[in-house]
């Protein structure tokens, strides 16, 4: 199994669920994480990543960490200072249409979105609300482009797009697609040589559907247009994703693997969860499993079954622990004060 991993955690793209997979694997195998200084959950985002943002990094004695997976704005030469040269690099993409709809709800408080009553209103005259000079403007335009380290306000000329796609391809071993999450996990399992239980997960940081609204065709086109660079990244890597499946796994085997993954997930849900799955924030009984609520989104969570034996309870709890709580527990464990 591969243990040196860089995950570029793109915002609002099922990346919290992927992070939980990495947290569990790292904890099980006693691996080290490249944590933001002082804990936290972002590596000085939205600035480009620098090695000095990592707790325990020193240029004099370059210490390598196994897993880098917290929010960052990608800058490979700096990333290479904190992980081994053999690390596997991967990220996850989401259709920019859904991504923008999600960002509008989640980042409602940002400068670009706070004065627009609806996404329609924002898109009817975006430059009335959007000011690229504001430090939080990246949430409102080409967010994936930004997270990959590029200029979200660059022109979408054919030449520029080509250079960007080539650069991403040169840096990353695998790009997952959140709309095909299970297939993505199977591909990840394959490239990392992990077993099925290492990649099984429950969806984390997901929104209650009551805050989601269907988008008209006109709005969809406006979103694609406004996020042209993201759209180019997504359509290109969505295509290469399926080419890779055909080349490395084949559709039939992929179907079998996905079926096995879903069956194992259903089995774990029956073992671990009260009821049939995620519940509204007000219905989460254990406050330590309460996910962060942000913007106008309602973030769902889980209730664990009562009376589980100790080992099962531990396994189940790790599957449903929200990102911030899990990250801080691992941080404390990794940087526990050594007794004198």
Structure tokens belonging to residue 324: 């911030």
For the ranges 201-205, 262-266, 276-280, the maximum mean pLDDT occurs at: 262-266
Reported as a pLDDT band with limits 50, 70 and 90, residue 296 is confident
What's the mean pLDDT when you consider all of the chain? 95
Contact 323, 19 (CB under 8 A): yes
Of 47 and 297, more confident: 47
**Residue 294: inside a domain, yes or no?**
yes
Whole-number percent of the chain with pLDDT over 70: 99
**Residue 156: inside a domain, yes or no?**
yes
pLDDT at 240 exceeding the cut of 90:
yes
Give the CATH number for residue 148. Answer: 3.40.50.300
Distance of CA 340 to the CA centre of its chain: 38
HEC readout, the chain: CCCCEEEECCCCCCHHHHHHHHHHHHHHCCCCECCECCCCCECCCCCECCHHHECCCCCCCCCCECEECCECECCHHHHCCCECCCCEEEEEECCHHHHHHHHHHHCCCCCCCCCCCCHHHHHHCHHHHCCCCCCCHHHHCCHHHHHCCCCCCCCCCHHHHHHHHHHHHHHCCEEEEHHHHHHHHHHHHHHHCCCHHHHCCCCCCCECHHHCCCCCHHHHHHHHHHCHHHHHHHHHHHHHHHHHHHHHCCHHHHHHHHHHHHHHHHHHHHHHECCCCCECHHHCCCHHHCCCCCCCCCECECCECCCCCHHHHHHHHHHHCCHHHHHHHHHHHHCCCCCC
Q: What is the pLDDT of residues 29-78, one digit of tens each?
A: 999 999 999 998 999 999 999 999 999 999 998 789 999 999 999 999 99
Count of CB atoms within 10 A of residue 317's CB? 17
For residue 171, the enclosing domain spans 5-335
Whole-number percent of the chain with pLDDT over 90: 91
pLDDT at 104 exceeding the cut of 70:
yes
Q: What is the pLDDT of residues 254-267, one digit of tens each?
A: 999 999 999 999 99
pLDDT at 85 exceeding the cut of 90:
yes
pLDDT at 340: 53
**Residue 340: inside a domain, yes or no?**
no
**Residue 171: inside a domain, yes or no?**
yes
**Residue 157: inside a domain, yes or no?**
yes
Contact 65, 49 (CB under 8 A): no
Lowest-pLDDT range of 31-45, 99-113, 324-338? 324-338
The mean per-residue pLDDT over the stretch 70-89 comes to: 97
| Distance in angstroms (rounded) separating the CA atoms of residues 72 and 133 | 19
CA distance to 47, 94, 98, 171, per residue, from 148 (Å): 12, 13, 18, 10
- 129 Rama class: left (phi>0) / alpha (psi -120 to 50) / beta: alpha
Lowest-pLDDT range of 150-154, 180-184, 188-192, 292-296? 292-296
What pTM was estimated for this model as a whole?
0.96
Rounded to 5 degrees, what are φ and ψ at 58? -140, 130
Q: Which residue in this structure is represented by tokens 């919290």?
A: 16
pLDDT at 210 exceeding the cut of 80:
no
What residues have CB less than 8 Å from 334, skipping those under 6 apart? 32, 33, 35
Reported as a pLDDT band with limits 50, 70 and 90, residue 336 is confident
pLDDT at 337: 67
pLDDT at 10: 96
What residues have CB less than 8 Å from 113, skipping those under 6 apart? 103, 104, 107, 122, 129, 139, 140
pLDDT at 339 exceeding the cut of 60:
no
What residues have CB less than 8 Å from 181, skipping those under 6 apart? 14, 17
Q: Which residue in this structure is represented by tokens 């669920």?
A: 17
**Residue 126: inside a domain, yes or no?**
yes
Contact 53, 73 (CB under 8 A): no
pLDDT at 211 exceeding the cut of 80:
no
Q: What is the pLDDT of residues 139-185, one digit of tens each?
A: 999 999 999 999 999 999 999 999 999 999 999 999 999 999 999 99
Number of domains the chain is built from:
1
pLDDT at 338: 61
Q: Which residue in this structure is represented by tokens 């929010």?
A: 71
The mean per-residue pLDDT over the stretch 307-318 comes to: 97
**Residue 254: inside a domain, yes or no?**
yes
**Residue 12: inside a domain, yes or no?**
yes
Contact 189, 254 (CB under 8 A): no
């Amino acid at each position: 199994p591969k243990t040196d991993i860089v995950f570029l955690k793109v915002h609002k793209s099922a990346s919290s669920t992927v992070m939980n997979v990495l947290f569990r694997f790292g904890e099980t195998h006693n691996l080290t994480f490249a944590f933001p200084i002082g804990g936290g959950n972002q590596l000085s985002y939205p600035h480009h990543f620098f090695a000095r943002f990592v707790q325990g990094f020193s240029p004099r004695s370059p210490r390598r960490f196994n897993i880098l997976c917290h929010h960052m704005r990608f800058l490979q030469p700096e990333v290479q200072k904190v992980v081994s040269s053999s690390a596997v690099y991967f990220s996850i993409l989401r259709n920019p249409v859904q991504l923008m709809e999600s960002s509008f709800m989640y980042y409602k408080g940002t400068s670009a979105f706070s004065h627009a009553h609806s996404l329609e209103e924002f898109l009817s005259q975006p430059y009335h609300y959007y000011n690229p000079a504001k430090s939080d403007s990246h949430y409102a335009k080409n967010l994936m482009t930004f997270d990959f380290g590029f200029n979200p306000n660059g022109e979408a000329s054919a030449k520029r797009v080509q250079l960007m796609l080539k650069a991403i391809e040169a840096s990353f071993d695998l790009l997952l697609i959140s709309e095909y999450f299970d297939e993505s996990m199977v591909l990840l399992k394959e490239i990392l040589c992990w077993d099925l239980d290492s990649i099984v997960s429950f969806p984390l940081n997901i929104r209650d559907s009551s805050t989601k609204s269907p988008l008209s065709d006109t709005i969809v086109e406006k979103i694609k247009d406004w996020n042209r660079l993201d759209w180019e990244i997504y359509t290109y890597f969505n295509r290469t994703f399926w080419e890779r499946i055909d080349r490395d796994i084949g559709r039939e085997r992929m179907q079998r693997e996905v079926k096995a993954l879903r069956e194992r997930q259903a089995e774990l849900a029956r073992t671990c969860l009260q009821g049939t799955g995620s519940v509204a924030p007000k219905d989460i009984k254990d406050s330590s499993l309460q996910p962060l609520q942000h913007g106008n989104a309602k973030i769902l969570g889980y209730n664990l079954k009562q009376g589980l034996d100790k080992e099962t309870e531990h396994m189940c709890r790790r599957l449903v622990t929200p990102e911030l709580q899990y990250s801080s527990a691992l941080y404390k464990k990794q940087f526990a004060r050594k007794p004198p």
